[in-house]
Structure 1
Amino acid sequence: MANNRIGIREFVELTVRTGDLNPITSNSNNTAIIGSQIHRKLQAAHRESDYEREVYLKTAVTVNDEDYQLEGRADGVWTDDTGLTVEEIKTSARPWEEATQNTKDRYWAQARIYGHLLCEQRHLDQATITLVYVQTSTDTVSRFSEVKSAAELADDFTDLLEEFRDWLKLRSDIIKRRNTSIDQLDFPFPQFRAGQHELAAAVYKAIYSQARLFVQAPTGTGKTISALFPTLKAMGTGLIQRAFYLTAKQSTRRVAEQAMALMAQAGLTAKSITLTAKDTITFADEPDDPSKNPYMLGYYDRLKPALHDLLEHEDQLTRPVIETYARKHRLDPFEFSLDASLFCDVIICDYNYLFDPLVFLQRFFSEKDDSNFFLIDEAHNLVSRARDMYTAAITDQDFVQLKKALTPYKGAPLTKVRRAMTRILNTLDATTSTLLTSQPTIFQDDPLDDLTAVLFRFTEVVHDWLSEPPTPALQPAVDLVLPVFFLANQYLRIGDLYDATFKTEVTKENGQIMVKELCLDPSQFVDEALKKGRGAVLFSATLSPMAYFQKLLGGIDNSLAYTLPSPFDPAKQAVIVDASVNTTYRRRTQDLPQLIASLTTLVRTKSGNYLFFFPSYAYLKTAYEAFTAANPDLRVCAQENAMTEADRQTFLDHFQTGSEPIIGFAVLGGIFAEGIDLKGNRLIGVAIISVGLPGINAETDQLRAYFDRANGQGFAYAYQLPGFNNVLQAGGRVIRGTKDVGVILLIDERFITPRYARLFPDHWTHAQVSYNPTQLAQLLTHFWEAHHENTAHA
C-alpha cells in the first residue's frame, strides 16, 4: 500500500490544471526561493499557541481495486474559538485579480484537500479553509477564508478522485503489465559473467534492506544490466515502484537505454524514460515568448490525450519518441517528458535531477518516498559534480555587459532593473576595496550579506517584470536578462545552504571582480538527497579507496561496501611502471627526451592503436610535438580543448579495426579517458603520463586545508585521490572483453612509491617495473610474445 503513493500537488495538477504553460513564472527557481522565504516569514508571524507548520497529512484510498496513499503537507494549522483552520500560502508576482480562474481553482482544491484530511483524521464536523495569497512585487497579502462542513469537503475530494480515477487506472494497468512481465523475465543472457550474479544479488539485498550500497565493479562486470535486472525484480515484488538511473554522461544514459531495450526483447513491458536537458530538447521553431509559443499555449488542455497516446503505444520513451509525440500533440517536449515520467518505472537522467538544489525534480523529491530507489552510475564522477552543483559564482562583468546590452531598451521596469544592477556593481566595488587591500584573491568563512541583499532585490525586480508577458519589442531584452537572472538566483539558492563547509572567494584580476560561494564538502547534501528514496546503489569501476568515496558521498556511517574482482584474466594485461621518468612540473622539460624514448619503445615493440594520457593540454602539446618530430612515420591525432560532438567522433573513428595504426594523445580525466569502449584491436595499449595530480591552485588548496582540519588527509582528498582515479579510469580503456590483450604503461617514478603502489587495484598487483628503455623493451617483448596467439584479438 505504501508503495502506491500520490502527492497531493501531483493529484491536483493532473485533475484540475488547464490552460497554458508559462515556465518563466510558474516554474521559476526564483519563485520557489521567494515563496519559501515568505512561507517561513508568515508562519513565524503566527501567535497562536498551538500553531502547527508544515503538517504532514495522508489518507488511504482505494481506486479500481488498488490501494493508494495520498499525502502532502499543509502550510499551517491551528484551533481557536471558531474551530480548526487550515492555511495554504501561495505566492506570485501578479495581483490576485489577474490570476487565472484555473490557478485559483488549483489553489483552493489543494487547500480543501488538506481540510478534508484534517476533518477525517481529527473527527471534525467542519473546518475553516484559509488561502493566503502574497503578491511578491508589492508584498501585498490577501486572505480568503471559507467555512466548509466535513461532508462538503468529502464531496469535493470524491469529485476530484473520480477525475483522477482515469489516471490511476492508466498507471495501475501499466504496473500490472509490468509486474506480470517481470515475474516471467529471465536474465537476458545465457549465463552470468564472473561477478555479475554476485553484484545482482547485492543490489537486490540493498533494496530489500533499504540500504545504501557502494560497489566497485571493474570494467567487464556488466554493471548496468547487473543493477537494473535485480531492481526490476524488486519492483515486481512491490518493494519499490520506481527506479532512477542517474548518470554523469550522455553515453552512459545510452547504455542504460540499451539495457532496457535488451530486457524488452526478453519480454519486459516496463515503462522507461530518458530525460533530456531543456536547452537540448527544445524545438528549434519554439518562440522564446511563451505567450506566442504554440507548444505552450493550451498545453494542459492537450496533455491528457497526449499522455494516453504516448503511454498506450510506447514503452521506451527515449528522446526521439518524446519529440515525436510532442510534435504530434503540439506540446513543449521538455515539460511533456516530465509529465510522462510520472507514469514511468525507470527514469534515466542526469545527476542534477536529484542532487542539484536548483533543478531537482520537485514532483518526485519534495518529500521522502520509500517507493523510489536510486542507481548512481559512474559514481566516482559525483564527487566533483556535487561540489560544482553546490558552488555558485557571479562577476561584475555579468552586470556590466548586461547594462550595456540593455541600452537600446526603454521603459519603467527596465529602469528598475538597471538601478538594481547599479547597486550590485557598487556593492562589488565596495567589497573589493575593503577586502582586497594587498592581494588579488581572498577566502573567508562568512558569506557576503550585503551582496546577497542587492542580488535578491535584483531577482525580485526581474521577477516582477517577467510576471507580465513582454511586448514583442522587449522580448530581446528578456532574452538578455534571463541568463544573468538565473546566475543571481543560483547564487542566492546556494547562499541559503551556506555553512562551515563553504568558503567565500573574492577575486579582482585585470580589473574584473568575481565572487564565489565555494562548496568544499558536499557530502551532507548528497546524503540528504539520497535519503529521499528507499536506498541507493552507487557503483563504478573505480571507487577506490572506498572509504574516500563513502565519506564524500554521504555514506560512511550508514552504508555497505562491496568490491568485485575483475572478470578478465590479469595475465592478458601487462601493467608496467616506467620509473625512469620524473613527470613533476619542474622536471618535465629535463625528462622529456626520456619520456619520448619510452613512448616510442611502447609503440615500436608492438604495432597497433594506442592512447597516451597527459595531465594537462600544455604537457600534451609539448610531448606531441616532440614525439611527432622523433617519429614522423607514425600516424597520430590529438585531443583539443572544447571539441564538438562531431570532433570527438572523428577522433574515435581513427581507432577502427583494420585501419592503419593510430596513436592518440588525450587528457587524463577528459572525454576520452572514460566512457569509451574500444574493444579488440581498436586499442591495444595506453600510456599514462604522471600520477594525475590536479594543477595546484588556490581553490584546491582551500580543499586541502579543509580536509587537513577535518581528517588530516588534505593532500590525499584534494590532490592525490582525485588524480589517481583519473589514472584508473584511463587504464580501464584497455581490456574491454574476454579476448582483449593489452598494455598499461604507467610513466612516473612516483608510481613505485608506497603512497601510490598501495592504491593499485587487485588486477594491477602483478605490475612490473622498468628503469630504462632497454628493460622496458624486454618486458614488452616478453608480454607480446607470450600472447602472440591472441594478437588477432588484441
Structure 2
Amino acid sequence: MADKIHISVRSLVEHVYNSGSIDARFRTQSTLADGTRIHQKIQKTYRDGDQKEVFLKTEIAYDGLTFIIDGRCDGLLFHDGNVTIDEIKSITMPLDQMTGEGFPVHWAQANVYAYIYAKDHALPEISVQLTYVHIETEAKQYFNKKYTFSELELFVFNVVEGYAPYAKLQREHRNKRNESCKALAFPFETYRAGQRKLAGGVYKSIIDGKNLFAKAPTGIGKTISTLFPAVKAMGEGQLNRMFYLTAKTITRTTAEEAFSKMRSCGLHLNAVTITAKDKVCFKEETKCQKDYCEFADGYYDRINDAVLDILTNETAMTREVIESYARKYTVCPFEFSLDLAYTVDAIICDYNYIFDPRVSLKRLFEVQKKASILLVDEAHNLVDRGREMFSASLHKETFLQLKKDFKGVNKVIFEAASKLNASFISIKKIYGKNNEFILTHLDESFLEQLRQFIKDTEQCLRTDASQNLLEAYFMVNNFLKIVELLDEHYVIYGEKNKNDVIVKLFCIDPSKLLKQMGKGYSTKVYFSATLSPLPYYQDILGGEKEDYLLSIPSPFSKEQVDVFIKPLSTRFRDRERTKSPIVSIMQALTKKRPGNYLIFFPSYQYLLSVYEQFKEVNKETRTLIQTTGMSEAEREEFIAAFKPEQNETLLGFAVLGGIFSEGVDLIGDRLNGVVVVGVGLPQLCFERDLIKDHFNHQGKNGYDYAYVYPGMNKVLQAGGRLIRSETDHGTIVLVDDRFLQEQYQMLLPQEWKQFTLI
C-alpha cells in the first residue's frame, strides 16, 4: 500500500515555486488583516450563484506515494456557461510595477484548484483568474487564462514530481525514525534515582494528553529523562515533533548532547537548534536586504536544495552545521534554521519561538501542534520572561527626538511626533507629584494619535530609511498590539525619569497569555529543580486543575552536604553593621574547609562592599569577582578558574540570580562550597508592589508571589550548583535570620533541613 502524504495546495506550490530574496526592509505590519479585509471585499462583489472559500481535495498517486492535496480556493465564478477559479492576492507593490502576468507561484496555486475542480466535475476546460488588489489604494488588476483539463493534469503532475524527492526523503526518514524510536533502550546502563519516575511521569502525561509540572532535583539528568520518553512516544505514533525550550545557551548544549547520546545508541532522529538572528548573522550589520546581504539575495531560489542536502546528510543540525551548509548554499543561517524547524523531528530553541506573539513559529498548523510536545526546561524562568513578552512601553523622549529629527524635513512626521510628545507632557502634568503613577485607562485620543502615527510613518518609511523612525514605528506597533490584550491581568502605569515620561502596559499575571500561546499542543511539560512550590508555578504559568504535578526527592544523600545557617540580618538597613560578621564567616569557613567556593550576594553593590572589606584582611586569598556586562570569554575564564584538587582556596564573588547562579556545572572538587547571603528577595520596587497588590486582591499571598517565591528560587538555584553527582560533597552556608522563619523553612529542600546553626 502506498504511503499517504497530506499537504495543502499552498504549501505544495510554495515548495516547488520558491524564488526571490529575503528583504526585511520596511513592511506594513497590518498585511494579514488587510489581506482578509480585501478578500472579503472582493468576494462581496461576486454575483448570485458564485461561491467563495470552496474546499477542494484530490488524491494523486506518484512513485509509490499517494499525495492527498487540499485547500480552499477564494472564488468559484459561473458566467456564460464558463467556470472560473478566482485567486485573490493583496499586494503592497504598486500595480504599474508588476511585470508580466502575475507571479508563477500564484498561477500555480490557482491552477491546482482548477485541476481539482475540473477533475471532480469532468470539465474538458476551465478558466483561471488572478485578482491583484493594492492594499492601500484598493486598485485592481485582473489576469485571465483558459486551460484544457489535459494541460492542467500535466501541470499538476509536474508540480507533484517537483515535490516528490522531498516527500520521499521525509517518508523514508520517518519510517527509519519510528523504527529506531521503538528499538531505543535507555541510553545509560541504569537509571539514576528519580530518573525513572520523571521519565514515567512525562510518558504518562503524553499518553493521557495532560500537562505536567515537575520539580526534579539537580543532578538526576532532567534532559534525558524528558527527551527519552518523548522519543519512545514518537515511535508509537503518539507524537510527531518535540520542542525543547530553554532560556539559556548552556541548556541548549545539554539537549544537543542528550540527542547525540541517543543517536550513539541507534536513534535516527533529526533536530535543529535555532540560534538568535543577531548571533548567527554572517554580516557586520544584521540588515536583511538583498542589496546589502548576499545570503538574503536570491535566498528562496537556493533554499530547497540546501534543505534537501542537509536533511539527506545530517541529523544533528547544530549552529555549526547550519552555518556550514548556509555558507555552502549562500543562504541566511537564521532563516535556514526556521525553515528547517518546520521539517524536523525536534527543535531546540528559546521560549520566544512558542510563547512570544511577536516571534512565534507562525507557520505551525493546528494539526501539527496536536502532534507536538513542549518540554519547557528551567520553567521557573518563564514567569518573568512571560511578563516581559506580554508587556510594552513607550517613552516621551522617543517622540521628542523624532520631533527634532524631522523639523523642517517632513511636516507630517514632525506634527505626529509633536502631538504625541504633547500628550506625554499632559500626562506628566496630571500626575506631576508622583514619580510612579497608575493610569486607570488610556485615553482614546492618545490611542488615536498612536494609530495615526503608524499610518503616517508607514508612508514615510517607504522612502526614508531613518533608523530612529523605524524603531519608533515597531515600538508603537507593539504597544498597540498589547493594548488589544489589556484585561484584569494588566496594570497601566506611568513613570517619570528626569525629563522622560514612560507609559507601560505591564502584564502582572502572564498565566492567561502563556496558556493561550501554548494552546493546541499535545502535551506541555514544565520542569525545573526549583519549581517550588508547585501550585504557585501551576497557577502563574497557566496550568489547569487536571494537570499532573510531580515532585521528585533528591537522589543525593543528606551526608553529601553540610548545611549551616547563620542568623544575621542582611536587610538593607543592617548591611553595614553585619558586613564584618559575614567576612568572619568566610574566613572561618575557608580556614577549616579550604577549597573552591562561590559566594552569592543579592546585589552588586552589596557584593562590592563585602568584597572590599574581605580583601583588606585577606590579601593572600585568591578571589574572582563577577563584573557587570561580562563577555562570553570572561565568563568562561571565571568558570575555568575552578579547577579540581587545587592546593589554595579560591573564592568567586557572584550575584544571586545572575549568570553564575544557574546552569553552571562544577562537578567534583571543582566546587567545595556555596555561601548564599540573603533570601534573594527582589528589590522593593513599584512593579513588584503592583504584583503583590494584584495577587492580594485575588485572595492569594501577594507578598509570596511578588517577593518570597522568586527570591527563594534564586537561593535554591545558587545552592544547586554544589552537588551535581553521586560522588560530590560540599558545604552550604545560608546567611540570613529569615531562613529560620517557617515560610522560608517550608521552601528549603528536604536535604537542607538538617542544618547546623552557626
TM normalised by structure 1 equals: 0.85
CA distance in 2, matches of 1:520, 1:86: 49
Matched, 1:13 2:14: yes
Moved more, 243-252 or 255-264: 255-264
SS at match of 1:383: helix
1:428 is aligned to 2:429: no
- Which residue in 2 is equivalent to 1:787? none
Query: Are 1:641 and 2:642 counterparts?
Result: no
Task: Report what 2:380 is aligned to.
Answer: 380
Aligned-pair distance for 1:422? Answer: 3.3
- Residue number among 433, 438, 453 corresponding to 2:433 in the alignment: 438
Distance 1:402 1:259, change over 3 A: farther
C-alpha separation between the residues in 2 aligned to 1:51 and 1:613? Answer: 71
Structure 1 residue 593, shift from structure 2 partner: 2.2
1:395/1:264 CA distance change after superposition, 3 Å: same
Q: Assess, with a 3 A threshold, how the Cα gap between structure 1 residues 718 and 180 changes in structure 2: closer, same or farther.
A: same
For 1:75 and 1:616, how far apart are their aligned partners in 2? Answer: 60
Which piece of structure 1 moves more, 590-599 or 3-12?
A: 3-12
Q: Which residue of 1 aligns with 2:390?
A: 390
Moved more, 679-688 or 528-537: 528-537
Amino acid in structure 2 at the alignment position of 1:604: K
Of the structure 1 ranges 417-426 and 596-605, higher mean CA displacement relative to structure 2 is found in 417-426
SS of 1:291's equivalent in the other structure is: coil
Q: Is 1:191 the equivalent of 2:153?
A: no
CA contact (8 A) 1:679 1:736 kept: yes
Which moved further from structure 2: 720-729 or 2-11? Answer: 2-11
1:323 has 2:323 as partner: yes
1:602 positional shift: 2.3
Alignment of 1:341-360 (within 5 A): 341-360=341-360
Q: Which residue, 33, 36, 60 being the options, matches 1:36?
A: 33
| CA pair 253-704 structure 1, distance change in 2 beyond 3 A | same
Match of 2:140 in 1: 142
Give 1:614 deviation, angstroms.
1.1
CA distance in 1, matches of 2:575, 2:71: 61
Secondary structure of 2:25's partner?
helix
1:128-139 counterparts in 2 under 5 A? 135-136=134-135, 138-139=136-137
1:538 aligns with 2:526: yes
Secondary structure at the residue paired with 2:526? Answer: strand
Q: For residues 521 and 82 of structure 1, what CA distance do their matches in structure 2 show? A: 60
The corresponding residue for 1:741 is 729
Question: Which moved further from structure 2: 609-618 or 1-10?
Answer: 1-10
The Cα of 1:290 is off from its aligned counterpart by 2.6
Maintained 8 Å contact 2:407/2:414: no
Structure 1 vs Structure 2 CA RMSD = 3.7
Map 1:169-568 onto structure 2 (within 5 A): 169-284=168-283, 288=287, 289-364=289-364, 369-401=369-401, 404=404, 416-433=412-429, 435-467=430-462, 477-568=465-556
- Once residues 192 and 164 of structure 1 are traced to their aligned partners in structure 2, the CA distance between those partners, rounded to angstroms, is 44
Residues 36 and 643 (structure 1), Cα distance of their counterparts in 2 relative to 1, 3 Å cut: same
The residue type equivalent to 2:656 in the other structure is L
Residue 755 to residue 702, structure 1, CA distance change in 2 (3 Å):
same
Residues 1:165 and 1:516: Cα distance change in structure 2 (over 3 Å) = same
- For the 8 Å contact 2:278–2:286, the answer to whether it is kept is no
Q: CA contact under 8 A between 1:77 and 1:85: conserved in structure 2?
A: yes
Deviation at 1:324? 1.0
Q: Give, in whole Å, the separation in 1 of the partners of 2:82 and 2:701.
A: 59
Amino acid at match of 1:619: Y
CA distance in 2 between counterparts of 1:119 and 1:751 reads: 77
Is the contact made by 2:322 and 2:337 (CA closer than 8 Å) also made in structure 1?
yes
Q: Distance in 1 between matches of 2:141 and 2:490?
A: 40
Alpha carbons 2:682, 2:707 under 8 Å: kept: yes
Distance apart, 1:24 and its partner CA: 3.2
Shift of 1:532: 3.1
CA deviation after TM superposition for structure 1 residue 703, in Å = 1.0
Gapped regions of structure 1 (runs ≥ 5): 771-775, 777-794
CA contact (8 A) 1:10 1:363 kept: no
Moved more, 200-209 or 663-672: 200-209
Deviations 1:458-510 (A, max 9, x none): 4444444555xx6xxx7xx4445433333223222222322221122222221
- How far did residue 45 of structure 1 move? 11
Instruction: Label 1:769 to 1:286 Cα distance change in 2 as closer, same or farther (>3 A).
Output: closer
Q: TM-score, normalised by structure 2?
A: 0.89
Determine helix, strand or coil for the equivalent of 1:369.
Answer: helix
**In structure 2, do the counterparts of structure 1 residues 508 and 237 end up closer, same or farther at CA, with 3 Å as the change threshold?**
same
* Distance of aligned partners of 1:416 and 1:587 in 2 relative to their CA distance in 1, 3 Å threshold: same
2:572 alignment counterpart: 585
Deviation for aligned residue 1:522: 1.2
| CA displacement 1:224-273 (0-9 Å, x = unmatched) | 11111121121122221111111000111011111111222222221111
2:615 is the counterpart of 1:619: no
The verdict on how the C-alpha distance between 1:266 and 1:586 changes in structure 2, with shifts beyond 3 A counting, is same
* Worse overlay, 284-293 or 147-156: 147-156
Residues 644-686 of structure 1 show CA distances to partners (whole Å, capped at 9, x for unaligned) of 1122112212211234321111111111110000111111111
Match of 2:164 in 1: 165
CA–CA distance in structure 1, aligned partners of residues 491 and 82 of structure 2: 49
CA distance in 2, matches of 1:372, 1:523: 21
* Code of the aligned partner of 1:509: N
Q: CA deviation at 1:192?
A: 1.3
Name the CA distance, whole Å, in 1 between partners of 2:245 and 2:95: 40
Amino acid at match of 1:10: S
Q: For the residues of structure 2 that align with 1:122 and 1:453, how far apart are their CA atoms? A: 51
| Corresponding residue number in structure 1 for 2:672 | 684
Comparing 138-147 with 124-133, which one deviates more in the overlay?
Answer: 124-133
Q: Distance in 1 between matches of 2:747 and 2:676?
A: 15
Closer/same/farther in 2, CA of residues 209 and 292 from structure 1, 3 Å limit: same
Give how far 1:113 is off.
Answer: 6.2
Once the two structures are superposed, residues 95-147 of structure 1 have per-residue CA deviations (whole angstroms, 9 ceiling, x without a partner) of 234357797444455567678889999999999988775534x3425375979
8 Å CA contact retained: 2:3, 2:65: no
Contact 1:445 1:500 in 2 (8 A): no
> Which runs of 5 or more structure 2 residues have no equivalent in the other structure?
none
2: CA distance, partners of 1:91 / 1:720: 52
2:685 alignment counterpart: 697
Between stretches 644-653 and 108-117, larger displacement belongs to: 108-117
Distance in 1, Cα, partners of 2:424 & 2:680 = 37
Other structure's SS at 1:618 match: helix
TM-superposed deviation, 1:722: 0.7
Amino acid at match of 1:339: D
**d(CA) in 1 for partners of 2:76, 2:743:** 59
Distance 1:502 1:78 in 2: 48
Question: Secondary structure at 1:505's aligned position in 2?
Answer: strand
Query: Residue 286 of structure 1 contacts residue 293 of structure 1 at CA under 8 Å; is this kept in 2?
Result: no
What SS class does the counterpart of residue 677 from structure 1 fall into?
A: coil
For residues 448 and 59 of structure 1, what CA distance do their matches in structure 2 show? 53
